[in-house]
Amino acid sequence: MKLRNIAIIAHVDHGKTTLVDALLKQSGSVRDNQRVAERVMDSGDIEKERGITILAKATSVEWKDARINIVDTPGHADFGGEVERILNMVDGVIVLVDSAEGPMPQTKFVVGKALKVGLRPIVAINKIDRPDARADEVINEVFDLFAALDATDEQLDFPILYGSGRDGWMAASPEGPKDQGLAPLFDLVLDHVPAPKVGDGPFRMIGTILEANPFLGRIVTGRIESGTLKPNQQVKVLHHDGTVLETGRVSKILAFRGIERQPIEEAQAGDIVAIAGLSKGTVADTFCDPSLNEALPAQPIDPPTVTMSFIVNDSPLAGTEGDKVTSRVIRDRLLKEAEGSVALSIEESADKDSFYVSGRGELQLSVLIETMRREGFELAVSRPRVVMQKDENGQVLEPVEEVVIDVDEEHAGIVVQKMSERKAEMIELRPSGGDRQRLVFLAPTRGLIGYQSELLTDTRGTAVMNRLFNSYQPYKGELAGRTNGVLISNEQGEAVAYALWNLEDRGPMVIDPGVKVYQGMIIGIHSRDNDLEVNVLKGKKLTNIRAAGKDEAVKLTPPIRMTLERALSWIQDDELVEVTPKSIRLRKLYLDPNERKRFEKQKVAGAA
């Protein structure tokens, strides 16, 4: 059977996973009466809830006399590490571009990696039925993008299809015909994408996707570079520097057949398969015949740009809501995560009670925290900090991102003002259709932490922001921080509605009445720039004398709801977010007021 291996790459929300749904249905991989979820490839709980792809996943379809292995990839820049490593598994890419938005930052990032590896692209203009579609302009933008990324003449001569993944059709013209479904795309993949290059010699494969299975243990997915593989075959695992990690037998070989994985008796070179039975092999390791001693080259991965401290929860309420609270359990979970995610790095602190976790962005780290709290973990996390570097002259360099903001014309002024306050430099301003402007900035990563929610407030929810790591540049100087102080509880107990009502003049609350509080916990936002300790346990003084107006019901203003992402971006360096399976609390790093004062004095002395 002929083989083709392709990846679908695109910016977030341009329709990759929806297109994979249509490919599975029209190829007969899913029966007409079979019940499958919408966006069947997004299998994780958080993926389903947020409607985003986080992990790259493989599937396969049969078309005519060929099997096409398809890899669905994430669209968020934070999960770009997933995309970078799967590119060595495939021989061609379908670049999916929204007919109205055109190529966006993540498209540029992934296409650049794909062209560098030498993959030949197929460009599919999706969502052609949008009222603001501008297909011809988008094609020109894609061509300019490819040229700017140093594409070869062969890569620039890309075939183009137009269509709608949701409606399940693609054609050589924006008008159709629509009755052929996705057949033109399948045929183009068979004609345009080369068959997998197969090397000579015994079995060799590089690990690309790692997952844990409760029955089979560790499962590693990759493409077989040469030779064949059978169950119970002896296999050696080599680190990328050539050291032997382990030798063992393959207990099971799973091939992708539609949305299912089926055990097979023999895997051929060029096919994408998942193997089980080895306990140490991971992503970027080489799985090979015991006679081989040389590892396959792995694609280098861009370095992490943001780091956070994961700290053992030491608040008075520690251990009351979660069952995984010790540093050993947290350490094991983080190391397990770092094995499967090449874009994450974990470092243990000297006191062994905290861990520095570095990744590509706040979203990647907040998804990890959300996953851990759902598994029963309790921990405290610090504000995200950027990873600085130094050049050979000792000058401090910081990560700078390219930021693309699509916004209604009336709100463009406030966006430019806020971005300039965050040391951003505007490099492009142009109309993007329908009274909207596209603003492109180069901005330091630390200035963008927490800006998403502020942007939505400033633009009444109409702005769309996309970010992409650009380069390391000289440090841009200090940024203005948060302008408000916080209200801090000075006692432990349960918050009383009467006390909260009396404190409303001081600023908005972030907790409800009846919530458990402790000394040092943040219960509200102060209307001024200093922190204020308050008593939220003080109830109404009761007497046996009734008087008119005494028993009026207390009417409280609803508190500000702090989601995990909002809390992480809002806190300052001397504050933490306490994360448990049931609650997200804000607190001071030092709970005792005397310790806080000592810390402030040391900070002032250090600055002087």
**pLDDT tens track for 390-436:** 888 888 898 898 888 888 889 999 999 999 988 899 998 988 767 88
pTM (predicted TM-score)? 0.79
pLDDT band at 38 (very low <50, low <70, confident <90, very high): low
The predicted structure's pLDDT at residue 212: 76
Q: Which amino acid is at 197?
A: K
SS (H, E, C) 365-408: HHHHHHHHHHCCECEEECCCEECCEECCCCCEEEEEEEEEEEEE
Distance between CA 3 and CA 397 in Å, rounded?
46
Confidence at 81, pLDDT banded by 50, 70, 90: low
Q: What is the CATH number of domain 389-474?
A: 3.30.70.240
**What residues pair up with 399 in beta bridges, in sequence order?**
472
CATH superfamily of 204-288: Translation factors (2.40.30.10)
Structure tokens at 380: 């405290």
Distance of CA 386 to the CA centre of its chain: 16
For the beta sheet containing 272-276, the strands, ordered from the edge strand earlier in sequence to the opposite edge, are: 244-249, 234-238, 286-288, 204-213, 217-226, 272-276, 252-257, 260-263
The domain limits of the chain are 2-192, 204-288, 389-474, 486-607
pLDDT band per the 50, 70, 90 thresholds, residue 440: very high
Q: What angle do CA 382, 383, 389 make, to 5 degrees?
A: 105
| Cα angle: 181, vertex 186, 187; to 5 degrees | 105
Q: Say what the pLDDT of residue 587 is.
A: 94
Residue 97 near residue 10 (C-beta atoms within 8 A): yes
Query: What confidence score (pLDDT) does residue 148 get?
Result: 87
Give residue 60's pLDDT band: very low, low, confident or very high (50, 70, 90): confident
**Residue 128 · residue 15 · CB < 8 Å:** no
Q: What SS3 state is found at 526?
A: coil
CA gap 556, 504 in Å, rounded:
8
- The pair of structure tokens assigned to 333 is 């979970």
Q: Which residue has the higher pLDDT, 432 or 477?
A: 477
In this structure, of 82-86, 98-102, 345-349, 545-549, the range with the lowest mean pLDDT score is: 545-549
Lowest mean pLDDT among 78-82, 296-300, 427-431, 555-559: 78-82
Of the given ranges (51-60, 139-148, 377-386), which has the lowest mean pLDDT? 51-60
Closest by CA to 562, choosing from 607, 510, 514, is 510
Alpha-carbon distance of 515 to 507, in angstroms, equals: 18
**374, 581 contact by CB (below 8 A):** yes
Extract the tokens encoding 523: 């219960």
Residue 279 CB partners (closer than 8 Å, separation 6+): 217, 218, 246, 248
- The stretch 153-181 carries a mean pLDDT of 89
Copy the structure tokens of residue 73: 């990839």
Q: Which residue has the tokens 């909002």?
A: 566
- Rounded CA separation 598/590 (Å): 10
Report the alpha-carbon distance of residue 3 to residue 352 in Å, rounded: 50
Contact indicator for 463, 407 with CB cutoff of 8 Å:
yes
**Which residues define the annotated binding site?**
13-18, 126-129
User: Which residues, at least 6 apart from 158, have a Cβ–Cβ distance to it below 8 Å?
Assistant: 95, 120, 121, 122, 123, 146
Tokens of 357: 């976790």
pLDDT of residue 241: 82
Q: How confident is the model at residue 278 (pLDDT cuts 50, 70, 90)?
A: confident
Binding residues for GTP: 13-18, 126-129
* Model confidence band, residue 199 (pLDDT cutoffs 50, 70, 90): confident
Tokens of 553: 């019901």
CA diameter of the chain: 96
Residue 116: Cβ within 10 Å count: 13
Instruction: Give yes or no for a contact between 66 and 2, defined as CB atoms under 8 angstroms apart.
Output: yes
Q: Does residue 133 carry a pLDDT above 90?
A: no
- Strand 92-98 and strand 260-263: the pairing is unpaired
**Cα distances (Å, whole numbers) of residue 227 to 199, 202, 502, 531:** 8, 4, 75, 67
Identify the band that residue 121 occupies on the pLDDT scale cut at 50, 70 and 90.
very high
589 close to 576: Cβ distance less than 8 angstroms: yes
Q: Considering the domain 486-607 in this protein, what is its CATH number?
A: 2.40.50.250
Across 44-190, the runs of DSSP E, i.e. the strands, are 57-63, 66-72, 92-98, 120-126, 160-164, 169-171
The fold of 2-192 is Rossmann fold (3.40.50)
In Å, what is the CA distance from 176 to each residue of 172, 181, 182?
7, 10, 11
SS3 468: strand
Task: Choose between 203 and 457: higher pLDDT.
Answer: 203
Q: Is the pLDDT of residue 441 over 80?
A: yes
pLDDT given at position 162: 93
- Report DSSP state, residue 89: G
Structural contact between residues 91 and 195, judged by C-beta atoms closer than 8 angstroms: yes
* Residue 24: both structure tokens together: 């599975």
pLDDT band at 31 (very low <50, low <70, confident <90, very high): low
**Lowest-pLDDT choice from 53-57, 164-168, 217-221:** 53-57
Give the Å distances, CA to CA, from 575 to 232, 384, 570: 53, 11, 10
How far is Cα 453 from Cα 114, in angstroms, rounded to an integer?
Answer: 33
Rounded to a whole number of angstroms, the distance between the first and last alpha carbons of the chain is 73
Rounded CA-CA distance 275/230 in Å is 10
pLDDT at res. 202: 92
**pLDDT for res 487:** 94
In this structure, what are the phi and psi dihedrals at residue 432, rounded to the nearest 5 degrees? -120, 25
What are the beta bridge partners of residue 586?
522, 577
In contact, 3 and 271? CB cutoff 8 Å = yes
What whole-number distance in Å separates Cα of residue 46 and Cα of residue 151?
36
To the nearest 10°, the Cα dihedral for 288, 111, 449, 475?
90
